[in-house]
Amino acid sequence: MGIYGPLHIIVAVLALSPCFASAGDIVHQDDVAPKRPGCDNNFVLVKVPTWVDGVEDIEYVGVGARFGPTLESKEKHANKTRLVLADPPDLCRPHKNKLNREVILVHRGNCSFTTKSNIADGANASAILIINNRTELFKMVCEANETDVNIGIPAIMLPQDAGASLENFIKTSSTVSVQLYSPQRPLVDVAEVFLWLMAVGTILAASYWSAWSAREVAIEQDKLLKDGSDDFTHTENVASSGVVNINTTSAILFVVIASCFLVMLYKLMSLWFMDVLVVLFCIGGIEGLQTCLVALLSCFRCFQHAGESFVKVPFFGAVSYLTLAVSPFCIAFAVVWAVYRRVSFAWIGQDILGIALIITVLQIVHIPNLKVGTVLLSCAFLYDIFWVFVSKLWFKESVMIVVARGDKSGEDGIPMLLKIPRMFDPWGGYSIIGFGDIILPGLLVAFALRYDWLTNKNLRSGYFLWAMTAYGLGLLITYIALNMMDGHGQPALLYIVPFTLGTFLTLGKKRGELKALWRRGAPERPCPHVQFQPSQSQ
C-alpha cells in the first residue's frame, strides 16, 4: 500500500470538476425578462410548510413570481391557511365558487400565469400555488404584451411532485393547510469563507510537500555528481522516482477521458452506482490519508526508525512498519465514514479523506513545464464551460451540475467534493467545491514553488506567491459570481484558470524567463561542479 495506490482513481478525480451547486434549480428561457410596474419582483425561493389534518407534514420549496405582492420573510408573521383545489384545475376560466381567503392550487398551462393569478384574486383567494409540469422550478414572468399588471395576491410555483402530493391529499378528503414565507439569505455565507481557506490551504500544503521532495531529490543528485558518478542518466531517474509527469498528449486526452467519464456518471447515476463511487473514494481516501500520516509522523524522531524499516508483504512488496501501523486506522476511518455518510456531520470525514487524497495526488502528479500546464488548464477551462453551460443544448440540463448534486441517486451529491454546511442560512444546504477545481490549478501552483526552490528564488522574485494569490482571487471571484447568479452553479475553472495561468504567463514574459519555464521548467545543471544550493529564504 504505497503512494502509487491513488493512481487508479486519478482519472476519476480529474474528470470530476463540479461547479458550486445551488440550493434549488430554477429555470427560465429568459432570465432577463424586463421589469415594469406591477411586474418587478426579484425571484425568491419560498418555503411552503404543510399540515395534513392538523399534523405537520413535508416542507416544500417554491419560487415567487415576478408579479404580485412580496411574501413575509419571517415564519412567525406568516399565516397558516387552508389549501383548496382550483375548479377548473388550470383556472383559465372563472372559479366556480367564491373562496374565503384560502390558498388555491392550480395546474400550469393553457393560459398565462398572470391570467390565472387575476382569476384567483377575483375569486377572493389569499395566494395561488401553480404546479409546474416538471420536477424543477420555473421563473414566472409577465407576458410580453402586458403593460398594466395589478395582481393583489402572491403567486408561487411548486415543482410537479410537490403539487401532485398536495393534490392527492385534498382529493382523499384530507384538510391541507400551508404557510408561505420567504426567509432572506445572509449576504455572506460563512461556510464559503471556510471552504476558501480549505481549498487554498490544501494547495499550500501540497505545494510545499512537493517542492520539499523535489529539493531532496536535487540534493541527492548533487551528492551522486560530487561522488564522481558518470551516469547522469541514473540521477535523472532518481528525480522521477515516485512521480508521474504529465505530457502534452496526456493533457489533451484528459478532456476526452474526463468527458466520457462524466457522461457515464450522468447516464448511470443511481444508488448502486453511487455505492461504487463511494468504494472508489474510500480506496483513494485510505491511500491518501495513509501517505499523509506516514509522511507527517516520519518528521518525528520517535517514528523515523519505523518509517525506515521495511517488511515484505505479499501483493504489496516492501512496506514500512510505520505504514503497517497506520493502515488499520485509515481503513477504519474510511469504513466508518462510508457507513455513516448520510448523517449530518459526515461531511467532516469526507473532507478529511478528500484533502488527504488531493495532497497525495499533487505530490505524485507533476507538470514538467509551463507548456504542459498551459495545455492542461486550457483544456480543463473549455471542459468546465462546456459541461456546465453548453451541455444544456444536448441534454436539456447541465450535466456537470446534475452529477455534482447526485440527482436521482438517493445521495446528497457525489463523494468527490469538499463541502461545508451553510451557516446561518435558513435554506440549509452545502457550499461545495469539486476536486478538479483544486487539483488542476494546484498542479500549476506546485510547479511554481518547485521551480522557485530549484532556482533559488525567494518569495518576492519567484512565481509561487503570485500563483497562490491568483488562485485565491480566482476562487473568490467564483464565489462572488455564484452569489450574483441567484445561486446557480458556476464552473469554477472559468474564473480560476485565467487568474492563475494568465498571471504565470504574464509574469514569465515580463521577467524574460518564459522560454525557460515553457520548455524546461527546471534549471539545467549538466556539469558536476554546479551544485544545488537550498534557498536561504525558504
212-220: long-range pairs with CB below 8 Å, 24+? 213/363, 214/239, 214/450, 214/453, 214/454, 215/453, 215/454, 215/532, 215/534, 217/241, 218/454, 218/532, 219/532, 219/534
DSSP per-residue letters across 475-534: HHHHHHHHHHTTT----THHHHHHHHHHHHHHHHHHHT-HHHHHHTSS----STT-----
Paired strand residues for 83: 103
Distance CA 350, CA 434 (A): 12
Distance CA 309, CA 322 (A): 8
Residues 6+ apart with CB under 8 A from 322: 294, 297, 298, 303, 306, 307
Angle between helices 271-297 and 248-268 (to 10 degrees): 140
3-state per-residue secondary structure call for 291-335? HHHHHHHCCCHHHHHHHHCEEEECCCEEEEHHHHHHHHHHHHHHH
Q: How far is CA 293 from CA 197, 217, 259, 311, 395, in A?
A: 21, 21, 33, 19, 43
Distance CA 341, CA 350 (A): 8
Question: 253 is written with which cell numbers?
Answer: 486526452
> Which residues participate in catalysis according to the annotation?
384, 437
Please, what is the end-to-end C-alpha distance for the chain in angstroms? 32
Q: Are 13 and 258 in contact (CB under 8 A)?
A: no
The residue among 7, 137, 136, 5 whose CA lies nearest residue 64 is 137
Whether cis (ω within 30° of 0) applies to the bond prior to 528 is: no
Instruction: Name the strand (E) or helix (H) holding 58.
Output: strand 55-64
Distance CA 279, CA 334 (A): 9
Distance CA 139, CA 317 (A): 60
Residue 242: count of CB within 10 angstroms of its CB:
13
Distance CA 175, CA 340 (A): 37
CA dihedral 386, 16, 259, 404 (to 10 degrees): -60
Q: Are 489 and 21 in contact (CB under 8 A)?
A: yes
Distance CA 328, CA 325 (A): 7
The residue among 535, 501, 531, 441 whose CA lies nearest residue 219 is 531
Distance CA 495, CA 336 (A): 36
Within 241-270, residue ranges assigned H as helices are 248-268
